[in-house]
Structure 1
């Protein structure tokens, strides 16, 4: 719940929390990469179900085993992206209401029974290539066509002779396994990309979405990222050959790139996209035709340096939370509760300096507390709690309970 006067004001992006937006984006990329890696590992033992010399009787059991793995990963990617979209919007627009249509509702599923698998796929016909997804629901039939086309279909293309030797059979199986695994990873991560795209389409505050490059992007992905935040629905409807590709955001097989909503013209380019743009500008100076320019870009292309790990400023979370309370936002409002969650996530125990995740931990690991950080957090929380008491806030509310619990935890840690 917010004060009505605050709801009517135009939203302003928060530059104070730019570090948090960068952290959330980096953490989301780690989550999506982990989902893709788990898909690849899960598909390895299932390949034994497919016998290259007996595709007619083994391809259907293979796809029936593979499809649930890919669907599960697609849904995990969706849920991770949904939380990312919610979090990033709060970080960029601290006063904004949550979007209806992005939160809360589980995406519908298209269930595919074995009897629904087209008969032509059982007969070993030519397989259609991977196609662009058209909705946020799991595209079961399109996934079947893509996986069969790059799994059994690739074996057929590489091993046309029935009398082929063991070496040729092994080579064909290895190539098909690698290709179908890359397709499975792309389909899985398209689930998350669809959620981000839907969030941007529903959000009048969003300018668009920008491509987030993975750790080792190809020239094609870097060229797309160099365009910055220019993507809205159907933004590729009139794209030329430079932007050919499959899936959401013109992703290709094995692509690990992500998407992030953009709310400010100052946030069009992140660190890696800016470097990709710099390389493109160098090529543009040659005044080459578009096709030749792309070829030259590919020839010169070097992988952009990784983005620096964001400098965590947990103090800014408390400042923003107190600012919301002073502006009339209730302690149990979505906006304030979200900042409570972030304060809990970072512990408000970091002494304002650069931090490094624990050895071997993911980006989302908690950080080691310091005595000075705990003392400062205790002062901030105690002051905020006293302020709410003076304003007559109900001590039984969730926000006031959280204050007391957090203060007690800090006092216990400082005393030990």
Structure 2
């Protein structure tokens, strides 16, 4: 039994809401504790305050994904076989600290060197920091989904679920629709469907049959991919789709309206 199209969009929105709330906390700490006149001396305290916020966000994202994965299995008629969703990989403290350093004081100093005012530099760093911290937090749920799909013998693959305004890269990957575990790449230039980027709204959603429906805007994107890349292959197909998406395709899409 295929999963209804509402569940994956609901899951994506819940994850996005969690990330938005976490971003508010990150911004509050950055703007209230960071002294742009004393970057080097105030940064250690700011970083110390940011670390638990990101770690908590990552745990929340993973918890949401575990619940959603179990719900998806039950809705697909699969339950009681003892499978438990997988945990994400641990987030190394050194990786988190490095991400904060690069998007915090380093980005601030780069902006100052480029001629921005301290206020402008603070905001430039804030944008980078929000993107990076949201990525690390959402990675908890994304890894939970991806690792569970890979370990679950009942899962046939996954779909990439995006909002109605994805970048060209995410739109291209979403156009693949349900991707089978046994054919992750299959010579398709859109391979790499489980990769994400800063400020990315996409999520993975499990498939449990070999005839899963396309989710959200993916079916229309698939038709667009075929039309815009006809006669092209490899990077030429990717470039053709990106050019079309950025020039006219993106403006033609609206966000899915499922509750």
- Work out whether the TM-score is over 0.5: yes
Q: Which has the higher contact order (CA 8 A, sep 6+)?
A: 2
Unaligned runs of 5+ in 1: 1-13, 108-134, 310-362, 364-416
Structure 2 partner of 1:402: none
Structure 1 partner of 2:19: 36
> Deviation of residue 231 (structure 1)?
6.0
- Aligned partners of 2:99 and 2:177: how far apart in 1? 30
2:80 equivalent to 1:97: yes
The 1:57/1:95 distance shift into structure 2, 3 A limit, reads closer
Structure 2 partner of 1:294: 238
SS in 2 for 1:209: strand
- Aligned partners of 2:182 and 2:90: how far apart in 1? 17
> Deviation of residue 289 (structure 1)?
4.8
- Aligned partners of 1:36 and 1:25: how far apart in 2? 17
Deviation string 1:281-309 (CA, Å, 9 cap, x unpaired) is 11122x23533332221222124444353
Pick the aligned partner of 1:78 from 55, 62, 75.
Answer: 62
TM-score, normalising length: structure 2:
0.86
2:202 equivalent to 1:253: no
TM-score, normalising length: structure 1:
0.55
- Aligned partners of 2:126 and 2:257: how far apart in 1? 35
Pick the aligned partner of 2:46 from 59, 62, 68.
Answer: 62
Structure 1 partner of 2:124: 175
- Aligned partners of 1:276 and 1:79: how far apart in 2? 30
- Aligned partners of 2:45 and 2:27: how far apart in 1? 15
Pick the aligned partner of 1:273 from 202, 218, 224.
Answer: 218
Deviation string 1:339-390 (CA, Å, 9 cap, x unpaired) is xxxxxxxxxxxxxxxxxxxxxxxx4xxxxxxxxxxxxxxxxxxxxxxxxxxx
- Aligned partners of 1:76 and 1:23: how far apart in 2? 21
What value does the CA root-mean-square deviation take over the aligned residues? 2.7
> Deviation of residue 99 (structure 1)?
4.3
Map 1:133-212; keep pairs closer than 5 Å: 135-160=88-113, 168-212=117-161
SS in 2 for 1:265: coil
SS in 1 for 2:89: coil
Map 1:219-238; keep pairs closer than 5 Å: 219-230=168-179, 232=181, 235=184
Contact 1:46 1:62 in 2 (8 A): yes
- Aligned partners of 2:106 and 2:188: how far apart in 1? 29
Contact 1:262 1:268 in 2 (8 A): no
